[in-house]
Amino acid sequence: MSQFPGGYEHFNPVKSASSGSPTHGATGKEGAAAESLRLIAFTLGNEWYALEASEVRGIEPEATITPVPRSPEWLVGVFNLHGNILPAIDPRPILGVPRVDSQGTGLMIIFLWEGNLAALRVDAVDEIYELPNATLEPPLPTIEGSRMDMILGQVRVRDRLIGVIHLSNLVRHVFEG
């Protein structure tokens, strides 16, 4: 892992998982993946969310994002990642989180969806948690409408309640309406 400016570590979960190198919370036990959740926790404002680590292809510092004229509210713009042009998605309007103007200070969580790379723009990445599947609770009843399909559930870690995002449903909502 290499260090980002601001103290963030570069993480490639695909590489780390296949190489057998230690990661936060890795157990190294056969079959542990079937009995546990590996989650990458991040913040959007004051709220905590997580993605399953298997869905993440990498975490990069926020690059220069080029706005796209007349784009939907969730599309921050596009950016160049190693020669590939990726859409930068702001999950805030989709999840009902208030927007903030933090251009250039966040991180990009890179993921693959239907053969295409894209990125979620987040404020900060906390760490990777490996938790028993039984710790996944149903989503809060305060989550309503289409947002309910975008949250798999929630987990409690220390003093945090972390919403686990159903990435394919969130991206499907974004790209297919």
Domain that residue 78 falls in: 13-17+39-176
| Mean pLDDT, residues 119-127 taken together | 93
Q: Dump pLDDT digits (tens) for 4-53.
A: 333 434 444 433 333 333 333 333 444 445 588 999 999 998 899 999 99
How far apart CA 172 and CA 174 sit, in angstroms, is: 5
Residue with tokens 């963030």: 8
Q: Tell me the DSSP string of 110-143.
A: EEEETTEEEEEEESEEEEEEEEEGGG-BPPPTT-
Contact status, residue 49 vs residue 165, Cβ threshold 8 Å = yes
Among 160, 136, 139, 137, CA closest to 150? 139
Give the CATH number, domain containing residue 81.
2.40.50.180
pLDDT at position 119 is: 96
In a domain, 23, yes or no: no
- pLDDT given for residue 144 in this prediction: 64
State residue 5's pLDDT score: 35
Residue 30 domain-assigned? no
Of residues 6 and 158, which shows the higher confidence score? 158
Q: Is residue 5 part of a domain?
A: no
Q: Is residue 4 part of a domain?
A: no
Q: What is the mean pLDDT of residues 121-135?
A: 93
Query: Is residue 138 over pLDDT 70?
Result: yes
| Residue 149 domain flag | yes
Range of lowest pLDDT (21-25, 56-60, 64-68, 164-168)? 21-25
What total number of domains does the chain contain? 1
Q: What is the pLDDT of residues 70-122, one digit of tens each?
A: 999 899 999 999 999 999 999 998 888 887 766 667 899 999 988 889 999 99
Q: Does residue 147 fall inside a structural domain? A: yes
Residue 130 within a domain: yes
- Pick the closest to residue 136 from 162, 169, 97, 171 (CA basis): 162
Does 123 fall in a domain?
yes
